[in-house]
Amino acid sequence: MEKKKMATSCDIDVHGIARIEGEGALHVHIDDGELKNVELEIFEPPRFFEAFLRGRGFEEPPDITARICGICPVAYQMSACLAIEDACSVQVRDEIQTLRRLLYCGEWIQSHVLHVFLLHAPDFFGLEDAVELAKINKSAVERGLFMKKMGNKLMEVVGGRAIHPVNVRVGGFYSAPSKGDLQDLVEDLKKALDYAIWAVEWVAAFDFPDINTSYPLVSLVHDTLYPIDYGTVASTEGFNVSPKEFLDRIVEEHVARSSALHAKLDGETPYLTGPMARFNLNYDRLTPIAKQCAEASGIERDCRNPFKTIIMRSLEVVVAFEEALRIIDNYVAPDPSYEQVLPRSGIGYGATEAPRGTIVHRYELGKDGLIKEAQIVPPTSQNQAAIEEDLKNVIANNMDLDQEQLTNYCETAVRNHDPCISCSAHFLDVDIKR
Amino acid sequence: MGKAKLAVWKFASCDGCQLSILDCEDELLAIADAVEIANFTEMTRKVIDGPYDISLVEGSITTADDAQRIVEIRKNSAVIVAIGACATAGGIQALRNYADIDEYVSAVYAHPEYISTLATSRSISDFIKVDLELHGCPVNKEHLIELVAASLAGRKPRIPQYSVCEECKLRGNVCVVVAENMPCLGPVTSAGCGALCPAVKRGCYGCFGPMQKANTTSLAIRLKENGADEDKLHRMFKTFNATKFEKEFSS
Ligand code: SF4
């Protein structure tokens, strides 16, 4: 980037950061060449899900918590189902869990492609949005839109609707799609997979600033699969624990500027979940074609450059298409399509990988099947402290840029993590310090 | 005459309704060509000042600042369309209207003093004159395009005015109340989704809100006769469009 004049003392205030989900603002204060303060503010009005879930039926969280976020409703539905089934000591059959994974692949695709093509890529061309991008590279945007549409198609066929799927229930699905319905998608999914392979190459050739990060990375891990629909929680610090133990280790702090809380490991360390964490902790679990794409792209397997999350997201789109095709190929409709879940008093935990990172739900049920206590920890509230670390890093390395360039740079640094502010504003329990 | 200026505004919501616009993959570039997208933060950094020909408003009003912001948007917009259950009924977050808001704040936040919120979540039309409403949680994206196209052309939008029950019959679903004895809000819920739930053997849960002149009382009696649990029925009405179904759960 061509450098203009020095910004020795300035305030950067971006009210309403564009091309992110929800309403967030950014405040940076630089005084005499020294960075004094960085704040990512979340000013979405709170919606109090955790409060009104109390007293609701144990079968309701998949539908209710989906409404926390229109971009990743399946993540909420899946973590909610796992947590409630855990409380009721039910484990669903493999065929049901696999169908959940297929639905989740659809969500990863539509959410990641939305971010890569419509929200993030324009930054690398210095453009305002994807419409402008289409003016200089229409076929790229059209390919992106086609992939996104296929993600949504998968969600419609498996989930009954792309935004807030209706077919998910505690225990499984109301109905299982037929093999034929899924096979009808195969040809287009293969075409989309080709586009996804191309997309990795396309984004890998973007110009990336050289920035490195050192905070711990946290993601689910699984013996054989790239983590999406379940797993244990591992970190680059070396722990590998159950969702319950993980929740015990994070402390959420309520800061003045936010209707979201900052989650920190053991109450002090910022950490990051999401594509960069999953990629680092699960490189060996990448699906075969995604592995080849990763190697061809030249990305290091322990890449810590948050600007390169666009490559990792694109690789995960390849993973999701490959997985979808594999699952459809082996698919036998689960019959019955759900397990009977009888409520009982107890506490349950569920963790899955939302497109933006690990999402953990915890429910305490009474024996009448009503919810006594709910806790939901979405990725963005976990990532917020790490995003601020990135901002400090970017600013410290670019003090010599002018105000406008530095502002754009900071906005991109926020968008690197695809924060979903709708998600993060709506919860956070208070008393989890133990 | 230049292109019509379209703005999209967000209040308390999940972003799902505005995402419906970005989910129009086949039409998105054509839409961006046909209208000038003058304000849509989720999609673009570009901000063009008003006045706007059409403003789509997602989300409910839950803070004093937002109550002012919507008045400004009204002044700046020729046509205002409220989209989705949040904007037309207060959304799921309107469950606070039936609870103690201070207790809610302190149940969720360590420092209630940092949080500014109204005691209720209200629809857009509770604050300003709204020209058109589109129901659903989320809205149907085809209907959203039809509505924008119609209002720019100055004609009446073709949006179904009947119930989910009728849509369900048109689709050829087997009735889940008759066949499976499931509670279903289809007979009293606005059409628009295409009867998605009965198609997967599940009762409608009313996310499109009540149709006009819905006979909910007789439905509730029928469902209770079928053995539906009264508390469960109340909760069904008291979810995504609670403010529009108040009398069904306050009995
Ligand atoms: S109406 Fe439903 S889908 Fe639309 S913004 Fe509100 S919660 Fe989201």
pLDDT, tens digit, 9 for 90 and up, residues A369-389: 999 999 999 888 888 889 888
The rounded Å distance from CA A8 to ligand 1 centre is 44
Q: Is the Cβ atom of B13 under 6 angstroms away from ligand 1?
A: yes
Residues with Cβ within 8 Å of residue A53, at least 6 apart in sequence: A60, A61, A64, A65, A363, A371, A374
Query: Percentage of chain A surpassing pLDDT 90?
Result: 68
Per-residue pLDDT at A297? 97
User: Is A432 within the bounds of a domain?
Assistant: no
Q: Is the separation of the CB atoms in B237 and B188 below 8 Å?
A: no
Q: Is A57 on the interface with B (CB under 8 A)?
A: yes
Angle at B197 between CA B192 and CA B203, to 5 degrees: 115
pLDDT at A427: 34
Question: What pLDDT, on the 0 to 100 scale, is given for residue A257?
Answer: 57
DSSP state of A160: S
Please state whether B6 falls in left (phi above 0), alpha (psi between -120 and 50) or beta. beta
B156 to chain A nearest CA, in Å? 27
Residues of B in contact with A146 (CB under 8 A): 25
How far is the centre of ligand 1, averaged over its atoms, from the C-alpha of A336 (Å)? 31
Residue A271 CB-density burial (10 A; 0-12 exposed, 13-18 middle, 19+ buried): buried
Does residue B86's CB lie within 6 angstroms of at least one atom of ligand 1? yes
The kind and range of the H/E element at B222 are helix B216-225
Q: Summarize the confidence of residues A87-105 as an average pLDDT.
A: 98
* Predicted pLDDT at A430: 21
Structural fold of domain B4-153: Rossmann fold (3.40.50)
- State residue A308's pLDDT score: 97
Judged by average pLDDT, the poorest of B139-148, B163-172, B225-234 is B225-234
pLDDT digits (tens, 9 = 90+) for A188-227: 999 999 999 999 999 999 999 998 999 999 999 999 999 9
Could B44 and A19 be called an inter-chain contact, meaning their C-beta atoms sit closer than 8 Å? yes
In percent, how much of chain A has pLDDT > 70? 88
Torsion-angle region of A120 (φ positive above 0: left; ψ -120 to 50: alpha; else: beta): alpha
Q: Tell me: cis bond preceding A336? Omega within 30 of 0 counts.
A: yes
pLDDT one-digit tens code per residue, A399-416: 888 877 888 888 888 888
Report, as an integer, the average pLDDT of B78-103: 93
Instruction: For residue A168, tell me if it sits in a domain.
Output: yes
Looking at the whole model, is its pTM more than 0.90? yes
Decide: B209 in ligand 1 pocket, CB within 6 A: no
* Per-residue confidence band for A5, with pLDDT thresholds at 50, 70 and 90: very low
B78 vs A: CB within 8 A: no
A269, part of any domain: yes
| Cα–Cα distance for residue pair B39/B127, rounded to 1 Å | 21
Q: A129–B44: do the CB atoms touch at under 8 Å?
A: yes
Q: Is the minimum CB–CB distance between B1 and chain A shorter than 8 Å? A: no
Q: Which of B166, B167, B186 is nearest to B176 (CA)?
A: B186
Q: What is the average pLDDT score of chain B?
A: 90
Whether residue B23 and residue A44 make contact (CB cut-off 8 A), yes or no, is no
Pocket of ligand 1 contains residue B242 by CB under 6 Å: no
Once rounded to an integer, what is the mean pLDDT over residues A126-148? 95
Higher pLDDT, B152 or A294: A294
The angle at the Cα of A252, spanning A248 to A258, to the nearest 5 degrees, equals: 160
Query: Is A428 within 8 Å of chain B by CB?
Result: yes
* Minimum distance, in Å, between the CA of residue A288 and any CA atom of chain B: 29
Pocket test for ligand 1, best of B10, B11, B17, B58 (most atoms within 8 A of CB): B17
Question: Average pLDDT in the B140-152 region?
Answer: 93
Query: What ipTM was assigned to the predicted interfaces of this complex?
Result: 0.95
pLDDT at site A22: 60
> Would you state the pLDDT for residue A14?
65
By C-alpha distance, the chain B residue nearest A22 is B15
User: Which of A73, A129, A162 lies at the smallest CB-CB distance from B43?
Assistant: A129
| pLDDT given at position B226 | 78
> What does the pLDDT read at residue B42?
82
Interchain CB distance below 8 Å, B110 and A50 = no
Closest CA to A202 of A71, A113, A283, A322: A113
Q: Which positions ≥6 away from B169 have C-beta within 8 Å? A: none
Distance A418 CA to ligand 1 centre (A): 20
- How far apart CA A267 and CA A2 sit, in angstroms, is 40
| Residue A178 predicted with pLDDT over 90 | yes
pLDDT at B250 over 60: yes
CB spacing of B239 vs A148 below 8 angstroms: no
CB distance A422–B95 less than 8 Å? Answer: no
CB contact under 8 A, B197 and A160: yes
CA distance B198 to chain A (A): 10
Closest residue of chain B to A134, computed from CA coordinates:
B29
A246, two tokens: 């993980």
Best interface-test mutation with B: which of A47, A356, A428 has the largest number of B CBs within 10 A? Answer: A47
Of A31-45, A271-285, A326-340, B84-98, the poorest mean pLDDT is in A31-45
pLDDT band at A10 (very low <50, low <70, confident <90, very high): low
Contact at CB, B235 and A430, closer than 8 angstroms: no
Overall average pLDDT of the A84-109 stretch: 98
Does residue A33 carry a pLDDT above 90? Answer: no
Residue A179 resides in a domain: yes
Cβ-in-10-Å burial (0-12, 13-18, 19+) of B187 comes to buried
First CA to last CA distance, chain A: 47
Interchain CB distance below 8 Å, A428 and B45: no
Q: Among residues 175-234 of chain A, which lie with CB inside 8 Å of chain B?
A: 175
- Regarding the beta carbon of B85 and ligand 1, being less than 6 Å apart is answered yes
Per-domain residue ranges for chain B? Answer: 4-153, 164-250
What tokens were used for A330? 């082996």
Is A18 an 8 Å CB contact of chain B?
A: yes
What is the distance in angstroms between the Cα of A276 and the nearest Cα belonging to chain B? 23
Alpha-helix residue ranges (DSSP H) falling in A114-267: 121-124, 130-136, 138-159, 179-183, 186-204, 243-249
Task: Give the confidence band of A105 by pLDDT, cuts at 50, 70, 90.
Answer: very high
Of A281, A130, A173, A169, the residue nearest A218 (C-alpha): A281
- Tell me how many domains chain A contains: 1
> Cα–Cα distance between A119 and A113 in angstroms, integer?
9
Partner residue opposite B232 with nearest CB, options A52, A57, A152: A57
Contacts of A433 (CB under 8 A, 6+ apart): A251, A267
User: Any idea what the CATH number is for the domain that residue A289 is in?
Assistant: 1.10.645.10
Q: Is B58 close to ligand 1, i.e. is its CB under 6 Å away?
A: yes
When pLDDT is averaged across residues A40-66 and rounded to a whole number, the result is 89
Distance A135 CA to ligand 1 centre (A): 31
Question: Cβ of A51 and B103 within 8 Å?
Answer: yes
B56: amino acid identity, one letter: L
| A142 touching chain B per CB within 8 A | yes
Domain extent, residue A278, equals 49-383
The per-residue pLDDT of chain A, averaged, comes to 89
Give the model's confidence band at A261: pLDDT under 50 very low, under 70 low, under 90 confident, else very high: low
Distance from C-alpha of A295 to C-alpha of A303, rounded to nearest angstrom: 12
The per-residue pLDDT for A12 is 64
Q: Which positions 173-202 of B are in contact with A (Cβ < 8 Å)?
A: 193, 196-197, 199-202
Residue bearing the bigger pLDDT, A372 or A254: A372
| Of the candidate ranges A328-342, A408-422, B53-67, B156-170, the one whose mean pLDDT is the lowest | A408-422
Query: Percent of chain B scored above 70 by pLDDT?
Result: 98
The pLDDT score that the predictor gives to residue A195 is 98
